[in-house]
Amino acid sequence: MLSALPARAIAGARRVLEIGGGIGALQAELLLRGAGTGEVIELLGVYEPYARRLAERLGIADRTTFRVADVIDAPEQAEAADIVLMNRVVCCSADGVRLTEVAADLARGALVLSHPRYLRVLRWAARFQEPLARLFRRRYRFYIHPRTAIHRAASSTGMSLFATWHGAFWEYSVFTRPGWGGNSALHTSDGANPIGARHVDLGGRPL
């Protein structure tokens, strides 16, 4: 997913924000590639010790922070960043489209996100999860949001689609501000990585 970002743009990023990033693996990767500082915002503080451990192991503990916040209810709690990341987060909220708009509004340069494709089989799975969740007393739900709605939310903040590609079930998109990264071309790919970057296994959790 990060391979769609031009190297010069990553090196020029002063701040990276990963929303719903768990232990913050993606923002850590960008810091290792030359970005300045990073922050992980999560709804659950349970990830914090693991995020700190990862940062210490990678030697970036002095450049990254972890915060518990709900950016949908209180977007003012989040500070804008040159690059904002949301990997497999949009599907975790019924307000995923609104979350996309909030994340895009926080992005000074680029928004990188992934979400499930709007496939009939996934929409059926989302519909039938309710009785199973009640049966097994599970609180977690996943949501399938239309691609057009997600893209419209990002574009409403003045961003443009820079790159998009997908695997069997997941779609990946990069939105940018005008002139960011020195490249305004749109790159698309079905099941492959865009703009000649290194191969990414789209079936897993790509970097």
The model carries a pTM of 0.84
Between CA 204 and CA 207, with CA 205 as vertex, the angle to 5 degrees is 125
Looking at 3.40.50.720, 3.90.1300.10, 3.30.470.20, 3.40.50.150, the CATH number of the domain 2-179 comes to: 3.40.50.150
Query: In Å, how far are 5, 20, 168 from 111, measured between CA atoms?
Result: 10, 14, 22
Instruction: Give the residue extent of every domain in the chain.
Output: 2-179
Q: What is the pLDDT along the chain (207 residues), one digit of tens a residue?
A: 788 898 999 999 999 999 999 999 999 999 999 999 999 999 999 999 999 999 999 999 999 999 999 999 999 999 999 999 999 999 888 899 999 999 999 999 999 999 999 888 877 776 776 665 565 565 656 788 999 999 999 999 999 999 999 989 999 999 999 988 655 445 555 544 433 333 233 233 334
